[in-house]
Structure formats: C-alpha cells, structure tokens
C-alpha cells in the first residue's frame, strides 16, 4: 500500500501510545547499555512519536516511510558498531516503520473479532506483548551464548574479529575440545548412562501411579498425588540433603550385605535419585492424558475376555502413549540437566555433564562450557519440538483438535 486510506485512520494519541511504547522498550535496552536506562526510555519514546507524526502528517506514503526508517536504522547501527549493529538497526527500523502505519490504519483489527471493545483489543495485544517481553528476557542470554561458543579465543566476550564477522575470529576448537577431552567425554558418557535408565524407571513407576490414581475408588488419592509430586515442589537442596542420608544407608547395605562394587552402588544411588525427581513429571503428563480417556474402552475389552494386562497394552497404552513419552522426555531432561542431587549422592566416578560444567566454571573457567551449553540447547530444542508434536497427536487422538 503506497498511500494511506482515510477510511480506518486512528487518532494520533493512539498511534503515539503504541509507537512510543515500542520506542521506550528498545530505548531501555540501548540506554542501559550506554549507562542510562531512563534517558534511553525518554529518547526512544520521543523519537518514535516524532517519527510517527512526520510520517502521518507530512510524508503520507508508507512505502517511502518504511524505506527511510529501514535505511536510517541500518546507517545508525553501522556507525555505532559496524555490521552486526547495522543488521539489528535495519531490522528495528523496518519494524518501526511498519508499526506506525499498522497502528494508524487500524490493521490490528483484521486479526480479531470486529465486535470487541477497545479495552478488549488493548488486553488482546497487551497480553501478547507481555508474553513477548518475557520470551525475549528468557531467550536473550541463550542468543549470547550460541555465537560465543564459536570464539577463536579463550574468552567469554565478543572479540573485535567476531564483531567484524572476520572468519579468523571464529573457530570450532571448543567443540573439538569437548569431543576429545577425556574429562568431558567421561562426564558425557555418565549422563548418557544415568539419564536413560532413570527415565525408564520414572516412566514405569510414574505411569502405573498415574493410572492407579486416576481411578475414582482409590482412597486418599489427592493426598497420595500431593506426596508423589512433592519432589518437584520441595526446594531441590532440601531433597538432595534428604536423599544423601537415605541413599547413603542403602549404599552401605548394598556394599556390606550384597557385596556390590562401590562404583556400581554409586551409579545405582544416582539413578534412583534422578528417577524420584522424574516421576512427578510422568505422573502429571499421564494424568492429563487420562482425563480425556474413554473408560468404556477398557470395559469393552474386559467384556470381550481380555485380561487387565492385555487391556492395558492393547487398548489403553496406545491412546496414552503420547503422554507417557512426553513425561519420559521431561524426566530425561530433568536427569540430564540435574547437578545438585548428583553432588550430594554421587561421587567423582559418577560425575555428569552438568557437574563437569559446574566444576569448569568454579575452578578453571573453561570456554568449552559454551560449546557444551550450545549442544544442550540444541538437544533441548529437539526434545521440546518432539513434545509439541506428541501433544498435538494426543489432542487429535482424544478428539480435542481437528486432524
């Protein structure tokens, strides 16, 4: 659209409020980076409001206005910090130019029902803006770690070569160190041993507990449920302290009475402790899946002569499988990322990957931690993507969403 259409123009105070809020938000970041957040808020809001006034009252051409804002943002960013800031400035400029006309022409109304009042519209977009701000707040540290893992130097900061996008400033040596260093590989193998076994135990016990607690005739099931999910509610340091005293007695018994190897006993204690932490996640996800389960299917299977075990594996399990797998993935992530409990319960032979990362930060400040963190982020994204796919499949199986 090259020119404004006078049909749905909004008052300037509304445009000023929206664009000023956008400018104040990003002005806070820029001002804080330069030592004064409040000044950045004022300058950012004022600049956006002035820009909106000029575009609406004088320029009156969207295509030219958005182009000017895009170019100006890129030029200012390049002057402030080279190519990286030029890219960021160009993106922000393009968003700012689009936002001015989006607010002035009332295009936001095309996304929502036409009968909503102004405060309902405000809440609709305000809620999404709050979610976006929280998302940015949580994701920004990760976005800083990812490029730093390719730093050619042993620094935790961006080097001038990296800021100039010079290939000499980037390297895979931290990833090479992770895959060739014996300490990192031993801790990684320990995590790959402990987490899957703990996940299998969590899924088995958690699924059985969820099925049992879903029965209406079970006495005190609410109290039992509260006790079963307490490991995810109680502070982890308290759980770790209690597990230390509990599993130390079990370990002494297994070594003294059963004659088991001390190293094997250490693995058993850590696996059992992580299984306890993972069971609540399995119980919650499987219980949520069982809410939409049709009980008449199990009664029909029983009427056809199927025993309870056959009914579970042939009728019930296929329908609740997405919830079981989701709970298993949560349990796996919990075990794979856990460090506090393994510090209390395990020994040096059971040093896991998070433990090694903690040691690297405390003792030697190893840049390899950045590469490991990037690998864990990629694994987490893959697992969360799998969870979302399974969630949608579960909803389709239960008829809660269209196929």
Q: How far apart are CA 324 and CA 315, in angstroms?
A: 14
pLDDT per position as a tens digit, 100-135: 888 887 777 777 777 777 778 778 888 888 888 888
Cβ atoms of 120 and 126 within 8 Å: the answer is: no
| pLDDT tens column, 228-242 | 888 888 888 898 999
Domain 182-397 has CATH 3.90.1640.30: no
Give the CA distances from residue 89 to residues 79, 131, 171, 192, in Å, rounded to whole numbers and listed in that order: 10, 23, 27, 43
Looking up tokens 């032979």 gives: 349
Supply the pLDDT for residue 287.
87
Among residues 232, 227, 230, 273, the alpha carbon closest in space to that of 250 is found at 273
Q: Is the dihedral of CA 150, 151, 155, 160 positive or negative?
A: negative
What pTM value is reported for the model?
0.71
- β-bridge partners, 61: 3
Q: What is the C-alpha separation between 42 and 24, in angstroms, rounded?
A: 6
**pLDDT attached to residue 1:** 43
Q: pLDDT by residue for the chain (403 residues), tens digit each?
A: 444 444 456 777 778 888 888 888 778 777 776 677 788 788 888 888 888 888 888 877 888 888 888 888 888 877 776 777 788 888 888 888 888 888 887 777 777 777 777 778 778 888 888 888 888 888 888 888 888 888 888 777 778 887 777 788 888 888 988 888 888 899 999 999 999 999 999 999 999 898 888 877 778 888 888 888 888 888 888 989 999 899 888 888 888 888 888 888 889 999 999 999 999 999 998 888 887 777 778 778 888 888 888 888 888 888 888 888 888 888 998 898 888 999 898 887 888 888 888 887 776 677 888 888 888 888 888 888 887 887 777 667 656 555 4
First-to-final CA distance of the chain: 36
pLDDT at 5: 41
SS (H, E, C) the chain: CCECCCCCCCCHHHHHHHHHHHHHHHHHHHHHHCCCHHHHHHHHHHHHHHHHHHHHHHHCEHHHHHHHHHHHHHHHHHHHHHHHHHHHHHHHHHHHHHHHHHHHCCHHHHHCCCCCCHHHHHHHHHHHHHHHHHHHHHHHHHHHHHHHCCECCCCCCCCHHHHCCCHHHECCHHHHHHHHCHHHHHHHHHHHHHHHHHHHHHHHHHHHHHHHHCCCCCCCHHHHHHHHCHHHCCCHHHHHHHHHHHHHHHHHHHHHCCCCCHHHHHHHHHHHHHHHHHHHHHHHHHHHHHCCCCCHHHHHHHHCCCCHHHHHHHHHHHHHHHHHHHHHHHHHHHHHHCCHHHHHHCCHHHCCHHHHHHHHHHHHCCCHHHHHHHHHHHHHHHHHHHHHHHHHHHHHHCCCCCC
Give residue 144's pLDDT: 80
pLDDT at 399: 60
User: Where in the chain do CATH 1.10.3720.10 domains reside?
Assistant: 182-397
Q: Please, are residues 74 and 58 in contact by the beta-carbon 8 Å criterion?
A: no
CB-based contact 150:172 (threshold 8 Å): yes
CA–CA distance, 139 with 131 (Å, rounded to integer): 12
Q: What integer pLDDT is reported at residue 386 of this predicted model? A: 81
């Amino acid at each position: 659209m090259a020119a404004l259409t006078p049909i749905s123009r909004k008052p300037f105070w509304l445009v000023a409020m929206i664009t000023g809020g956008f400018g104040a938000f990003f002005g806070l970041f820029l001002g804080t980076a330069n030592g004064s957040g409040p000044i950045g808020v004022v300058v950012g809001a004022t600049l956006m409001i002035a820009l909106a006034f000029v575009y609406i009252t004088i320029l009156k051409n969207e295509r030219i206005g958005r182009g000017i804002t895009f170019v100006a943002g890129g030029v200012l960013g390049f002057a402030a910090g080279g190519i990286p800031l030029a890219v960021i400035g160009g993106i922000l400029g393009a968003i700012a130019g689009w936002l001015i006309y989006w607010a002035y022409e009332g295009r936001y109304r095309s996304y929502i029902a036409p009968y909503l009042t102004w405060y309902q519209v405000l809440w609709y977009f305000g809620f999404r803006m709050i979610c976006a701000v929280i998302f940015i707040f949580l994701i920004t540290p990760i976005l800083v770690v990812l490029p730093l893992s390719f730093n050619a130097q042993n620094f935790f900061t961006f080097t001038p070569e990296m800021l100039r996008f010079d290939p000499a400033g980037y390297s895979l040596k931290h990833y090479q160190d992770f895959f060739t260093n014996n300490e990192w590989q031993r801790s990684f193998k320990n995590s790959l041993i402990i987490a899957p076994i703990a996940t299998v135990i969590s899924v088995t016990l958690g699924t059985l507990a969820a099925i049992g607690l879903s029965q209406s005739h079970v006495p005190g099931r609410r109290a039992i449920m509260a006790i079963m999910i307490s490991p995810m509610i109680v502070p982890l340091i308290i759980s770790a302290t209690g597990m230390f005293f509990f599993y130390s007695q079990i370990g002494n018994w297994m070594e003294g009475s059963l004659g088991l190897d001390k190293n094997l006993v250490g693995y058993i204690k850590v696996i059992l402790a992580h299984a306890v932490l993972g069971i609540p996640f399995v119980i919650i996800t499987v219980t949520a899946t069982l809410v939409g389960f049709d009980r008449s299917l199990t009664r029909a299977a029983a009427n056809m002569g199927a025993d309870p075990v056959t009914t579970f594996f042939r009728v019930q399990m296929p329908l609740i499988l997405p919830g079981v797998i989701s709970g298993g993935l949560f349990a796996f992530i919990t075990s794979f990322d856990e460090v506090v409990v393994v510090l209390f319960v395990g020994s040096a032979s059971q040093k896991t990957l998070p433990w090694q990362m903690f040691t690297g930060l405390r003792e030697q400040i190893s840049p390899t931690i950045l590469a490991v963190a990037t690998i864990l982020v990629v694994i987490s994204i893959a697992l969360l993507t799998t969870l979302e796919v399974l969630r949608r499949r579960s909803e389709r199986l239960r008829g809660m969403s269209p196929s």
